[in-house]
């Protein structure tokens, strides 16, 4: 019995140590970051996990609208050319990022002082927001008023923008609005018009704070001067053209091939189709139709002045009157038949 007691104590000691180690195990920093979804390496990936995935799941991701990035890329190229003509200087416009954000969060994150331009998308029947930061405002004023190159724009803190500064910035925004109309033109005709300029974000509330919006950040460089502009599009503005934004980009014509369209139109105009002239239609019981014999005469309700309906594969197109030209039976077209929803479905 004296030999068995040490063996029992020796076996029990490792078990107690293992239980203590399991109870005292603490997660390291990498495991905590992975659990919360804040891993630095995972930020570059599209798929988020953890708490961050739950937070971001309520936002609208612009990657679901492939054509949107193409529209803004076209906008950057148009702005580069138009702003060079506007400032008579070497202007470079670059697209920094396209992200999704809540409207209220964006208003709280605007660095002041800044000028906020509220513009109206007429065809989409909604408003958008365009923000110009102070660096770009003073740079534009300096360039348009003949400031010397190599000298940074003078920035005076603690004062509101003057009428001259607001007018010059408004002219630049109107140029950008025209470029936005041209950028959306291949996709859908949209007319953007400037509604008002604001310096207080609270007066530029064009949507509810919880509404989702798409934020486009642009960088405008004029050699050693420049600044940033931000374009905010509420998702409600893009909803009418959402189906167009979902299509894939298939070339410079936004999914359209002008050469193929021209060829198809040429072939369609030269296509030969059969036209049927319907003198009269009657509804008869099935037993009478089955008892029809060769040589039997069917009386039609149409007279010499009755209208004849012209159809193509069952679709009514035109109405006219029966006549004769030389030895041929002819139909003189009087009116066109308006297409209905039922005929369009044929």
pLDDT in tens, 307-321: 888 888 888 888 888
Q: SS3 of 289, please?
A: helix
Q: Residue 281: which H helix or E strand, with range?
A: none
Is pTM beyond 0.85? Reply is no
Instruction: Return the pLDDT at 2.
Output: 47
pLDDT in tens, 138-185: 888 888 887 766 555 555 566 788 888 899 999 999 999 999 999 998
What span, in angstroms and rounded, lies between the C-alpha atoms of 115 and 93? 19
Q: Show Cβ contacts of residue 52 under 8 Å, excluding neighbours closer than 6 positions.
A: 36, 37, 38
Tokens of 103: 């409207």
pLDDT in tens, 251-269: 545 555 678 888 888 888 8
Using alpha carbons, list the distances in angstroms from residue 40 to 34, 45, 97, 188: 9, 10, 19, 39
List residues bridging with 129 in a β-sheet. Answer: 118, 232
Q: How confident is the model at residue 219 (pLDDT cuts 50, 70, 90)?
A: very high
Q: SS3 of 203, please?
A: helix
**Which of 240, 232, 236, 132 lies closest to 190, judged by CA?**
240
Instruction: Return the pLDDT at 55.
Output: 58
Mean pLDDT computed over 80-99 = 89
pLDDT in tens, 42-78: 444 444 555 666 655 555 555 577 788 888 999 999 9
Q: Show Cβ contacts of residue 116 under 8 Å, excluding neighbours closer than 6 positions.
A: 110, 129, 130, 131, 132, 197, 198, 199, 201, 204
Rounded to 5 degrees, φ, ψ at 160 are -75, 165
H-assigned helices in the chain: 4-23, 29-36, 50-56, 66-87, 103-109, 134-144, 163-184, 235-238, 242-245, 258-269, 286-290, 341-344
Question: For residue 72, is it left (φ>0), alpha (ψ between -120 and 50) or beta?
Answer: alpha
What span, in angstroms and rounded, lies between the C-alpha atoms of 201 and 232? 13
Q: SS3 of 93, please?
A: strand
Q: How confident is the model at residue 23 (pLDDT cuts 50, 70, 90)?
A: low
CB–CB of 279/300 below 8 Å?
yes
Architecture of domain 62-258: 3-Layer(aba) Sandwich (3.40)
Mean pLDDT computed over 114-139 = 89
CB–CB of 199/160 below 8 Å?
yes
- Residue 270 burial (CB < 10 Å; 0-12/13-18/19+)? exposed
Tokens of 293: 């014999």
What span, in angstroms and rounded, lies between the C-alpha atoms of 22 and 20? 5
- The CATH topology of domain 274-290+305-346 is Surface presentation of antigens (SPOA) (2.30.330)
Please report, for the chain, the start and end positions of each structural domain, with discontinuous segments joined by +: 28-57, 62-258, 274-290+305-346
Instruction: Return the pLDDT at 230.
Output: 92
Angle between the N-to-C axes of helices 66-87 and 163-184, in degrees from 0 to 180, rounded to the nearest 10? 140
């Amino acid at each position: 019995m004296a030999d068995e007691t040490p063996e029992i104590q020796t076996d029990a000691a490792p078990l107690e140590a293992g239980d203590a180690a399991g109870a005292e195990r603490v997660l390291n920093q990498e495991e905590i970051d992975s659990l919360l979804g804040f891993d630095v390496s995972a930020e570059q990936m599209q798929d988020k996990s953890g708490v961050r995935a739950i937070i971001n799941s309520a936002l609208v991701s612009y990657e679901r609208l492939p054509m949107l990035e193409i529209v803004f890329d076209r906008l950057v190229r148009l702005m580069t050319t138009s702003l060079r003509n506007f400032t008579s200087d070497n202007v470079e416009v670059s697209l920094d990022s396209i992200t999704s954000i809540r409207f209220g969060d964006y208003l709280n994150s605007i660095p002041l002082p800044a000028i906020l331009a509220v513009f109206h998308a007429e065809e989409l029947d909604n408003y958008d927001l365009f923000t110009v930061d102070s660096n770009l405002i003073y740079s534009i004023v300096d360039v348009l008023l003949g400031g010397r190159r190599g000298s940074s724009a003078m920035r005076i803190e603690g004062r509101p923008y003057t009428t001259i500064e607001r007018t010059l910035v408004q002219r630049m925004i109107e140029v950008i609005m025209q470029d936005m109309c041209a950028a959306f033109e291949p996709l859908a005709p949209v007319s953007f018009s400037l509604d008002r300029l604001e310096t207080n974000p609270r007066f530029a509330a064009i949507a509810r704070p919880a509404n989702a919006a798409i934020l486009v950040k642009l960088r405008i460089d004029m050699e050693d001067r420049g600044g940033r502009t931000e374009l905010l599009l509420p998702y409600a503005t893009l909803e009418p053209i959402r189906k167009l934004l979902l299509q894939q980009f298939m070339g410079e014509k936004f999914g359209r091939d002008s050469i193929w369209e021209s060829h198809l139109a040429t072939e369609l105009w030269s296509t030969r189709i059969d036209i049927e002239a319907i003198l009269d239609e009657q509804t008869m019981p099935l037993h009478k139709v089955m008892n029809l014999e060769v040589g039997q005469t069917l009386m039609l309700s149409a007279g010499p002045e009755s209208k004849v309906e012209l159809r193509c594969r069952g679709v009514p197109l035109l109405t006219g009157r029966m006549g004769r030209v030389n030895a041929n039976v002819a139909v003189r077209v009087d009116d066109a038949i308006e297409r209905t929803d039922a005929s369009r479905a044929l």
